Chains A and B, each alone.
Chain A
Amino acid sequence: MSLAWQFYVSTLLIYVGVDIMAVWALNLQLGVAGVLNFAFIVFQAAGAYTAAVVTLGPASRTGFQHYVGGANWPFPLPVLAAAVVGAVLALVIGLFSLRRLRNDYQAIVMLVVSLIATLIATNDVGLVNGSNGLSLVPKPLASVLGVSPYGIQYQWFFVGVTAVICVLAYWFINRITSSPLGRSLRAMRDNEQVAAALGKNVLWLRLLAMMAGGAVAAASGAILVVLITAWSPSSWLFPETFSYLAAVIIGGSGNNLGAMLGALLVPVGFLEAARFMPSFGNPNLVGALQWIAVGALLLIFLWFWPRGVIPERRRRFPAGRSD
């Protein structure tokens, strides 16, 4: 493979890892727990900002970018910090939006939360450098390995790191979805009243799904920011949430394998394919057609295969012989 191709393939693989993690996280919230989290991208963004800030080092007052809480933490810590921030943010957002509201109002409040987050990140320049965003985020471990952070060896090394974190994320999510907790979440999704009547704490279950998903989403953001070394409010606009949403639904809502396939189809396959399309018409035309196609694909799936390519396994339990 030529060097350019190696760069392309390794970058694509890292994107694949990031998207798969994000889709697993959203699948836990939407597919398994039934929380329509329109603020999903905020968690990925919060993770990216956290990881960027704790690797960038303390902000100098005369520097070109301003942010809070700079530190020079070594590698695995930024990802962990991002996950913690994601979980805490999910708890805070969940506590006021999931508490007493009807399901559809929850979705709307999430949408509003997503916009509030963009407004704050854009306008409060001291927080994460406003609309210019953060840049020159250092690539971790390059000096330890003794390779150039912008060389191809580092790229492949980072593909490996992404893969490891992906596997950890799968282990974590799968622990939840295949455990009794997962059954409780699905019960709540299918019939909230019945789950509550059986003594399940519905609010707590929802918060838990939000927090676990938020942590994984934030970790995916932490990896993404290392790859692209910059992060600004335009990196996490609402359509990004939509592409993950489409991935979960098209792949198979409630099924980790299906969600993974969805990540390969929508954010990677569909949105990456446009890179190879010859550009024609006005400069926005290809991008616009791409999103029209994603919208149409989603409608087609919701009409013909609302349960996705790989539907959630129908779970059977041995009929009630009490012992």
Chain B
Amino acid sequence: MSVFWASLGFGVVTASILAIAAVGFTLQFGATNIFNLAYGDVMSAAAFVGYLVTQAHLGLWAALLAGGAFGSVFSALLNRLVYAPFIRRGTRLFGMIIVSIAVSLMLANTMQAIWGANFYSLAIPPARPFRIGPFIFTTIQLVIIAIAIAAMAGVHLLLRHTRLGRAMRATANDATLARNCGIRTDLVVDVVWLLSGFLCGIGGVVLVANVTSFDYGTGGNFIILILTAAVLGGVGQPYGAMLGALVIGVASEVSAAIITPAYKELIAFVILVVVLLIRPQGILSEIAAQKEVVAA
């Protein structure tokens, strides 16, 4: 039984990291209809920024802020300088997926050129274990869970209770209509990329803070779990991404403990495939269902 509780604890941590990353990913799709497959590589890049900050003995919080800021600016520029021009030029959905893969490949290999295929670790104080009920968490893990809860609450408050959030939801729902209603959708899109990029950057730093070492491909490998969580919830749906992250994170870690660690990602993928067979548009997906018409 203790194995179960321990793995459930791990699952919550994985779900937290996944939620931070997947919500950012899904916001990007919601606002601009782009599957940004370079997202994981931006996470890696942010992790390296965080690594440099911890090397300068500034601590985890500074690393998180720096990683977040890097992710934010980089993502917004990526959209402004690469994705948006391609969309204006008439590149369609498939083309955009390929553009984002090309960007991903270039980013990953740029990092490989700079950092080599070596492994790095954040220079943060070793984690101390804490007992909370049946769970055992380290300090880092508690920080990660707290950040995830804060980020989710922040996204919720922003989307539901601010004018900006309303504008974001309107843009995600129907950009043309939103523009005709006087919403400055280009500005909203920029804000979405800054915000989602911030989540991306923080996601990158917490991802590598939770493991002993990372390399240039760590974020790129994580994109598949992000995609799984986002698609599971219905892509473009922040609440769906949160739900998807929780399901994927917990299911993969618990199955790793109970069945075999070799197949923990396989479980996540099988869940995705089964859910899509039953509900092809994902769990929460009114927006995604409408998007189909625009995208087709």
Q: Evaluate contact between B276 and A295: CB separation under 8 angstroms.
A: no
A292-B276 contact in complex given A102-B281, A104-B93, A111-B227, C-beta closer than 8 Å: no
Contact of B272 among A112, A284, A285, A287 (CB under 8 A): A112
A99 to B273, CA, bound (A): 12
B168 CB–A CB distance under 8 Å: no
Contact of A294 among B98, B105, B231, B292 (CB under 8 A): B105
Q: Evaluate contact between A295 and B295: CB separation under 8 angstroms.
A: no
Most chain B CB within a 10 A radius of its CB, from A108, A115, A302: A108
Q: Evaluate contact between A303 and B86: CB separation under 8 angstroms.
A: yes
A104-B97 contact in complex given A288-B112, A303-B86, C-beta closer than 8 Å: yes
A110 to B276, CA, bound (A): 13
A282 — which chain B residues lie within 8 A by C-beta? Answer: 113, 116
Contact of A36 among B97, B109, B277 (CB under 8 A): B97
A302-B99 contact in complex given A36-B94, A104-B93, A108-B231, C-beta closer than 8 Å: yes
Q: Evaluate contact between A296 and B106: CB separation under 8 angstroms.
A: yes
A100 CB–B CB distance under 8 Å: yes
Q: Evaluate contact between B113 and A285: CB separation under 8 angstroms.
A: yes
A292-B35 contact in complex given A107-B94, A112-B272, C-beta closer than 8 Å: no
Q: Evaluate contact between A105 and B109: CB separation under 8 angstroms.
A: no
A105 — which chain B residues lie within 8 A by C-beta? Answer: 231, 235, 276, 280, 282
A281 to B224, CA, bound (A): 31
CB-CB nearest in chain B for A298: B102
B91 — which chain A residues lie within 8 A by C-beta? Answer: 302, 306
Within residues 267 to 323 of chain A, which ones have a CB less than 8 A from any CB in chain B?
A: 281-285, 287-289, 291-292, 294-296, 298-299, 302-303, 306
Q: Evaluate contact between B113 and A288: CB separation under 8 angstroms.
A: yes
A105 to B292, CA, bound (A): 10
Interface 1/0 per residue, A150-175 and B, CB below 8 Å: 00000000000000000000000000
A120 — which chain B residues lie within 8 A by C-beta? Answer: 266
Interface 1/0 per residue, B103-117 and A, CB below 8 Å: 101101110110011
A216 CB–B CB distance under 8 Å: no
Q: Evaluate contact between B292 and A102: CB separation under 8 angstroms.
A: yes
B28 CB–A CB distance under 8 Å: no
A88 to B108, CA, bound (A): 34
B224 — which chain A residues lie within 8 A by C-beta? Answer: 111-112, 115
B89 CB–A CB distance under 8 Å: yes
Shortest Cβ gap from B151 to chain A (Å): 24
B256 CB–A CB distance under 8 Å: no
Shortest Cβ gap from B251 to chain A (Å): 15
Q: Evaluate contact between A295 and B106: CB separation under 8 angstroms.
A: yes
Q: Evaluate contact between A101 and B280: CB separation under 8 angstroms.
A: yes
Contact of A284 among B86, B89, B113, B276 (CB under 8 A): B113
CB-CB nearest in chain A for B104: A295
Q: Evaluate contact between A109 and B273: CB separation under 8 angstroms.
A: yes
A119 CB–B CB distance under 8 Å: yes
Q: Evaluate contact between B93 and A299: CB separation under 8 angstroms.
A: no
Interface 1/0 per residue, B252-275 and A, CB below 8 Å: 000000000011011001101100
Instruction: Give the number of chain A interface residues (Cβ < 8 Å).
Output: 46
Contact of B280 among A102, A115, A283 (CB under 8 A): A102
B129 CB–A CB distance under 8 Å: no
Q: Evaluate contact between A108 and B35: CB separation under 8 angstroms.
A: yes
Q: Evaluate contact between B280 and A108: CB separation under 8 angstroms.
A: no
A302 to B273, CA, bound (A): 31
Shortest Cβ gap from A177 to chain B (Å): 19
Contact of B277 among A96, A111, A116 (CB under 8 A): A96
A120 to B263, CA, bound (A): 8
A199 to B151, CA, bound (A): 49
Contact of A116 among B82, B94, B116, B266 (CB under 8 A): B266
Q: Evaluate contact between A292 and B106: CB separation under 8 angstroms.
A: yes
A34 — which chain B residues lie within 8 A by C-beta? Answer: 94
Q: Evaluate contact between B105 and A291: CB separation under 8 angstroms.
A: yes
A105 to B280, CA, bound (A): 9
CB-CB nearest in chain B for A249: B98
CB-CB nearest in chain B for A191: B296
Q: Evaluate contact between B113 and A281: CB separation under 8 angstroms.
A: yes
A6 to B108, CA, bound (A): 36
B288 — which chain A residues lie within 8 A by C-beta? Answer: 102
Residues of B near any A CB (own CB < 8 A): 35, 82, 85-86, 89, 91, 93-95, 97-99, 101-103, 105-106, 108-110, 112-113, 116-117, 224, 227-228, 231, 235, 262-263, 265-266, 269-270, 272-273, 276-277, 280-282, 288, 292, 295-296
Residues of A near any B CB (own CB < 8 A): 34, 36, 96-97, 99-105, 107-109, 111-112, 115-116, 119-120, 123, 192-193, 239, 242, 245-246, 249, 281-285, 287-289, 291-292, 294-296, 298-299, 302-303, 306
